Amino acid sequence: MKLLIVDDSKVARMLIRSIIAEYDNSIEICEASNGLEATEVQKKESPDLTFLDLTMPVMDGFEALRIIKENNINAVVIVLTADIQKKSVEKCMEMGAYKVLKKLPRKEEIHQILNTIRNR
């Protein structure tokens, strides 16, 4: 399984990485620090799952989500954000996000998602 973690915060990326490694340390993990990098890595690596922040420099998560889904309609994207306003959550889901989780997510939430993706 290959994952992409997209967040401008290195600490947030490290936290998600450690939760994933605790689940299965053989999972390949790619990282990006903004939406533009995310779209490039997504095209090159074709990850099975992307964890995507919304508020980032260069290109925000909304624009990155739009491009990722245009490039691969089947891309599985989990939005991780502190902005859990109903309007933002609805917009993400309408744009094709698989799920929206409040940042920083609980370990159990991430592990459950990894189980679901692995068993697809």
Render pLDDT for 79-114 as a digit per residue (tens, 0 to 9): 998 877 889 899 999 999 999 999 888 899 999 999
Q: Which of 42, 83, 84 is nearest to 64 (CA)?
A: 42
Render pLDDT for 3-28 as a digit per residue (tens, 0 to 9): 999 999 999 999 999 999 999 989 99
User: Both tokens of residue 8?
Assistant: 């401008």
Helix (H) or strand (E) holding 102: strand 99-102
Q: Does domain 2-118 have CATH number 3.40.50.2300?
A: yes
Domain boundaries, the chain: 2-118
Whole-prediction pTM value?
A: 0.93
